[in-house]
Structure formats: C-alpha cells, structure tokens
Amino acid sequence: MPGKEDKVEITEQENEATQAEESPENEISLSEEELKALCREHVCPECDVMSEAKDERLRALAETENIKKRLIRETEELKKYAADSILSDLLPVLDNLDLALNHAQNLDACKDFVTGVDMTRKMFLDTLAKHGLEAVGKAGDEFDPNFHEAMGMAQASDLPDGSIAQVMQRGYVLKGRVIRPAKVMVNKLG
C-alpha cells in the first residue's frame, strides 16, 4: 500500500513536470511564417466559412475601390463645372450688351458709346473664355439640336437648307456642357 510519502512524491513529481512545461526554456517559439503555415494546415481551404469570409472580404475591397473611384470622378466633375451657375447668371449681362450694340450700332450719335460697349463685351467674353465658356450658334452654321433650339423657319437663299438663318439669342457651352442652347431660325428653302 502506498503510503503518505508516496503521494507526496507523486505530487512533487507532478509539480516538477508542470514547472518544466511552464519554464521559458521549454516554450516553443515559431516565426510568423510558421504560425501562418500551421494555421493553414488546421483550417480546411475548402471550408465554406473560410471561402465565404474570403468572398465577403474581396467584395468589400472591390466596393471600397469603386466608391473611391466614384468620389474622385465626382470631385473632378464638380471642379470642372463649379462655375456653371455663376456663368449662367452672367449670361443676361452678355445679352444686354449685345442688345445695346444692336440698337445703337447704326446711330452716328452713339458711335463712341458703341465702341465702349463693344470693348467691354469683348473683355467680358475673354474673361469668361478663360473659364471655359464658348459661344455657340452663328448664322451659316449647320443646325444641331444638341446646341441649338429652333424658334422657327426662315428663308435665306444664300445659305444651305438646314443651316442657321438667324440667331435670336446666343447660346453658350461650358467645357462641352450646354449651359444655354442658342435660339435660332432654321433655313428652309422652297
């Protein structure tokens, strides 16, 4: 029969074994690559959970990239057309300068006035052109519904059929985008 002393010996042996396991000398140290390899060995690559997690991660990365690209595109477009509303508000000023020139052009008493208004108009157009504004629609151009709004028909024998016979109101384009279509009379022969 084992005595009390035997139990103490077993307990002491167990303590020594436990301490040996816990001692830093017996501690296993693995590199990060070895840990990853062990992890891959213990997780089945065909496991549904792992493939679902991988798919979800890839979808999230793709969506993040798409959002980033969309934000960059929208920011560029905002910068490109930021002046759109301001320039639209300035178009009536140009219209009034054009009207002043048309009404006073044939009057000798207004010759200096016409010169001043014309110079102001040209400076104004040059400034707007620096920001990408271009005038569209002049007599003789081919009618294009993307840039011109037909107000009616006119007959001018010196112009081809379907061209602009008369401009009622000038149109403007900002970097390829129509701010206001030109209001025109389209030439119709016969």
Same domain, 104 and 173: yes
Same domain, 55 and 126: no
Alpha-carbon gap, residue 81 to 129, rounded angstroms: 14
pLDDT in tens, 66-114: 999 999 999 988 887 777 888 888 899 999 998 888 888 888 888 888 8
Same domain, 52 and 117: no
Domain count for the chain = 2
Same domain, 125 and 145: yes
Enclosing domain of residue 178: 84-187
Strand-pairing partners, residue 4, are none
Q: What is the pTM of this model?
A: 0.58
- The pair of three-digit structure tokens given for residue 16, joined into one six-digit string: 């020594």
> Which pLDDT does position 29 carry in this prediction?
79
- Res. 39 pLDDT band, cuts 50 70 90: low
Same domain, 135 and 163: yes
Same domain, 88 and 76: no
Same domain, 104 and 155: yes
Q: What is the mean pLDDT of residues 44-51?
A: 66
Alpha-carbon gap, residue 140 to 164, rounded angstroms: 5
- The pair of three-digit structure tokens given for residue 170, joined into one six-digit string: 């000038």
> Which pLDDT does position 47 carry in this prediction?
64
Alpha-carbon gap, residue 43 to 32, rounded angstroms: 16
Same domain, 97 and 70: no
> Which pLDDT does position 185 carry in this prediction?
93
Same domain, 76 and 95: no
Alpha-carbon gap, residue 13 to 1, rounded angstroms: 19
Please state, for a pLDDT cut of 90, what percent of the chain lies above it.
33
Which position has the higher pLDDT, 189 or 153?
Answer: 153
Same domain, 111 and 67: no
Alpha-carbon gap, residue 170 to 88, rounded angstroms: 13
Same domain, 93 and 154: yes
Give the burial class of 182: count Cβ atoms within 10 A of its Cβ; 0-12 exposed, 13-18 middle, 19 or more buried: buried
Could you tell me which of 160, 186, 187, 182 has the C-alpha nearest to residue 172? 182
Identify whether 21 is part of a domain.
no
∠ Cα 38 39 45 (to 5°): 115
Same domain, 95 and 72: no
Please state, for a pLDDT cut of 70, what percent of the chain lies above it.
79
Examine the pLDDT at 46 and tell me if it is beyond 80.
Answer: no
Identify whether 26 is part of a domain.
no
Examine the pLDDT at 6 and tell me if it is beyond 60.
Answer: no
| E strand map for the chain | 133-136, 148-154, 164-169, 171-174, 177-180, 182-187
